[in-house]
Amino acid sequence: MAQDLEDQLGGNLKALRDWFPLSSYSAFTSVMDMLQGADAPWGWSSCNCHPNCGIFTLMVVNRRTGAWTPLFDFFNYEQFMKDVAVITDTARGRKLSYAQLGMAIMRNFQPARAPEGFPISQILNLFKPSSTNSNSDRNDRMKKQAAADDPNDVWRVLCVEGMWFQDLFNYDFRRTEMCVIPYGTQEGEISFCAYNTGVGWRQIIENMHKTAGLAEWYQEHGRHAVYAKGKAVPNIGKVRTLSLPIVSAILAQDNGEPAAAVTPYLVEEEQEEAVV
């Protein structure tokens, strides 16, 4: 994905320079929680997922011209995270920690590579907390606290994230143990990776609690119409089934039947037309 984006964007977004593990940002959220103190109405959300779970990058966008630049092209994020770890570990108090954070930002900011008109104060706003709004995002912190037509209010931040979905041949239980996206099911809480990949917990749960199979539902109620741009889509008359081998083996064992060979891919089945 990162390489494809580099190719599509003319090499301006570098695959090996501008992408970092999504969980790396949690180092910064720790220092901001420390600076805000225990009495802050809102804390910073921390993504402590496995480093191999996903990646992210930030781009600064001029909302007037539409021009964009990767933030990590002119800001040394890797060194900044190391500086933040030192600030958090030393915990020298609110004032000194703020001073350390400001110096870390100035140390890693490269104005010669920054887009024209982008001041270092915008970097400060990017990493500054906004604890007065529960749904604050990075764009809120980039906006000036002034009139909407402020000529200096031109910069926004675009965050691009990607997730590596796991397959059976590369399933990593460490990622599952550190998953930060829990699914609430009838059988309890199951992590995102375990529910959507691996042995197929989604199919197991759905088969345990389904009220009717797709073919049974269509037989009783008929197939619903499919529309695109306000027009009916013709020739959608086939039933598609999907079953993992492990699910079929469990169902066959429960029914006392021999396990049939199945494929984990979508299989099209011709519908039988009933003559009334």
Domain boundaries, the chain: 2-163
- Given a cut of 90, whether residue 210 has pLDDT beyond it is no
CA distance 252 to 241: 17
Q: Which residues are within 8 A (CB) of 148 and not within 5 positions of it... i.e. 6 or more apart?
A: none
> Would you state the pLDDT for residue 4?
92
> For 10-24, 31-45, 168-182, which range has the lowest pLDDT when averaged over its residues?
31-45
Whether residue 32 contacts residue 86, with contact meaning beta carbons closer than 8 Å, is answered with no
User: What's the whole-number average pLDDT of the chain?
Assistant: 79
Tokens 């021009």 appear where? 67
pLDDT band at 83 (very low <50, low <70, confident <90, very high): very high
Quote the pTM value: 0.66
**CA 171/CA 185 separation, integer angstroms:** 22
Taking a C-beta distance cutoff of 8 angstroms, is the pair 218, 237 a contact? no
Question: Tens digits of per-residue pLDDT, 35-63?
Answer: 777 777 777 777 788 888 889 998 988 88
Contacts of 63 (CB under 8 A, 6+ apart): 154, 155, 156
pLDDT exceeds 50 at position 161: yes
Strand-pairing partners, residue 70, are 59
